[in-house]
Amino acid sequence: MSKFIISVTYEHQDETSLESGEPYERGYEIEGQEVDEDELKAIANEYGVNAASSTVIGQFTWFNSSSPREDREYFEKGIEKFFSLHIKKGDVLHAARILNIKG
């Protein structure tokens, strides 16, 4: 079973930040964590990761959520949260296959 070093970043946007083109807030949810294939799938599922950053998957590709997380802040305050999963160490193409993500 393959191991990966991953990070998960976030961007939170509200109506004002959408107008300005800058996120309301950004940062790390996970930074430099070693995971196996099953943990990679679980984390991708938890953060709604379902798309690649590029049509050609390679060393510098990351994976992201294409829809905002629909949580309390989303419904009450209009804050949209998007996540990106970065493979810091490990085979990115293999990770894409595990996550069933095509470029």
User: For residue range 42-91, what is the model confidence (pLDDT) as tens digits?
Assistant: 999 999 999 999 999 999 999 999 999 999 999 998 889 999 999 999 99
Q: Residue 99's pLDDT band (boundaries 50, 70, 90)?
A: very high
pLDDT at 18: 63
Tell how strand 25-36 and strand 3-13 pair up. antiparallel
Structure tokens at 32: 């430099």
Output the six-digit token pair for 35.
């995971």
48 phi and psi angles, rounded to 5 deg: 70, 25
CB 50 within 8 A of CB 85: no
> Which residues, listed in sequence order, are joined to residue 63 by a DSSP beta bridge?
52, 85
Sheet with 49-52, side-by-side order of all strands: 25-36, 3-13, 80-89, 63-65, 49-52
Q: What's the pTM?
A: 0.88
